[in-house]
Amino acid sequence: MSGLDKLIHQPVRLRIMASLVTLDPTDQVDFTYLRELLDVTDGNLGAHLQKLEAGGYIRVEKTFIARKPRTFIAATPKGRGAYDEHVEALRQILGGADKPASP
Amino acid sequence: MSGLDKLIHQPVRLRIMASLVTLDPTDQVDFTYLRELLDVTDGNLGAHLQKLEAGGYIRVEKTFIARKPRTFIAATPKGRGAYDEHVEALRQILGGADKPASP
């Protein structure tokens, strides 16, 4: 309904996407950085990232740096498009596009 | 987290509140009007109104007009305040308040 994207609307995922779309398309963020930025647990962040990845909204890349596992995350073009549409739908709702006449 | 109000964040309730806060504080909307505006079922709208009423965000008034039951809904001052805070939190998220530096 109303153009809101359920995958993005959930508060943690909204903040994940809002953070990722500000990056240059070729950049990515580190899992740990995102976890601290959003102040969530490993498990919580991991679960939300999985959902966004399953929807094709983000790309998750696991690698090793100095023998330590690292996870990098970036928004896909599809994710950026979905985020833009979601924000536009939100702005329409908040802007009173549904404004009723007084009864 | 992040100042978002769970009671208001849910899409149908967000649209209910967005519609109600545009009204003059002394005005109210009719249940049927709201149901058609939001394009939801009686049961769905009723359930969301109950949650908002339980939170003290709206006032629900049932009455009879020409022997027919009518339900009128208005935002309370508490609901207006919560909505304003929620919108401010959303704007901070969407505006990139969480913007990360490139890693």
| pLDDT tens, position by position, B47-103 | 999 999 999 999 999 999 889 999 999 999 999 999 999 999 999 998 854 444 444
Task: Give the residue-averaged pLDDT of A78-98.
Answer: 87
Asked if pLDDT for residue A97 goes beyond 50, the answer is: no
How far is residue A15's CA from residue B90's CA, in Å, rounded to a whole number? 9
Cβ–Cβ gap A98/B37 under 8 Å? yes
Is the pTM higher than 0.95? no
- Reduced to 3 states (helix: H, G, I; strand: E, B; else coil), residue A10 is coil
How far is residue A58's CA from residue A76's CA, in Å, rounded to a whole number? 5
Nearest CA in chain A to B27: A102
Asked if residues A4 and A44 have their Cβ atoms less than 8 Å apart, the reply is no
Taking CA B30 as the corner, what is the angle to CA B86 and CA B47, rounded to the nearest 5 degrees?
60
Determine the pLDDT at residue A64: 92
A-chain residues near B23 (CB < 8 A)? 100, 102
Residue-level length of chain B: 103
| pLDDT tens, position by position, B19-35 | 999 988 888 999 999 99
DSSP per-residue codes, A74-103: EE-HHHHHHHHHHHHHHHHHHTTTTPPPP-
By Cβ distance, the residue of B28, B94, B99 closest to A87 is B94
> If contacts are CB pairs under 8 Å, which of residues 4-43 in chain A contact chain B?
4, 6, 9, 11-12, 14-15, 18-19, 22-24, 27-30, 33-34, 37-40
Determine the pLDDT at residue A96: 55
